[in-house]
Amino acid sequence: MSELDAAARAIEAGDLVVYPTETVYGLGADALDPAAIERVFEAKGRSRENPLSMGVPDVDAAMSYTEASPRARACMEAFLPGPVTVVCERAPAVPDALTAGQDRVGVRIPDHDRALAFLERVAPVTATSANRSGAGSVTDPGDLDPSIRKAVAVVLDGGETPGTESTVVDPDRGEIHRRGAMADAVEAWLAEYG
């Protein structure tokens, strides 16, 4: 069985997977399964009040799990796949556990072949960095915290990643929640799109 197949089976079984992206390593679980989502919070030591994003393989897949406005979809089409997380209205199938009870969810489509191959098999999965909360993001799987490594079923090794986290933007509200990769381009798009 290939590593990608093993990772997909792990997600389907409710387990956790570490996967590479074009920014940092991510920690994936079935983004529609509250029990699997809880395992992510537990592994990271993250507050349940901090929502998680979801990773999908393309914009059409994102539309299956969101009720994105035309502006949010235009933002996705402009920047995804890429190092940007687009926040938009979630669809009813997305559980409160993922969004901390909020009506919006972050959508991530990594510009990374291995991540996309993984997401094509099992999306949506959680898209959060594979580190303990408060610790630095992981750019090399050899640097995973021992507790994270113990909590996951599969580590998809994609070599070293660049390390700049994604920019998080809510295009409907015209807000950048976190400046990261491509922040200036996102800011310019917000200004131009009005």
Query: Tens digit of pLDDT for each residue in 134-149?
Result: 999 999 999 999 999 9
Q: What is the tens place of the pLDDT at every residue in 41-67?
A: 999 999 999 999 999 999 999 999 999
Q: Distance from CA of residue 21 to its chain's centroid?
A: 9
CATH class of the domain whose range is 3-66+92-162:
alpha beta
What integer is the mean pLDDT of 162-172? 96
If pLDDT is split at 50, 70 and 90, which confidence band does 193 have? confident
Report the pLDDT value the prediction gives residue 126, as an integer from 0 to 100: 98
Assess whether the previous peptide bond of 124 is cis (omega < 30° from 0): yes
- The fraction of the chain above a pLDDT of 90, given in percent, is 98
Mean pLDDT of 9-30: 98
Q: Chain-wide mean pLDDT for the chain? A: 97
Domain range annotation of the chain: 3-66+92-162
- Mark residue 27 as left, alpha or beta (left: phi above 0; alpha: psi -120 to 50; beta: remaining): beta
CB 105 within 8 A of CB 65: yes
Whether the per-residue pLDDT at 1 is higher than 80: the answer is: no
Looking at the predicted structure, is the pLDDT value of residue 103 above 80? yes
pTM exceeds cut of 0.85: yes
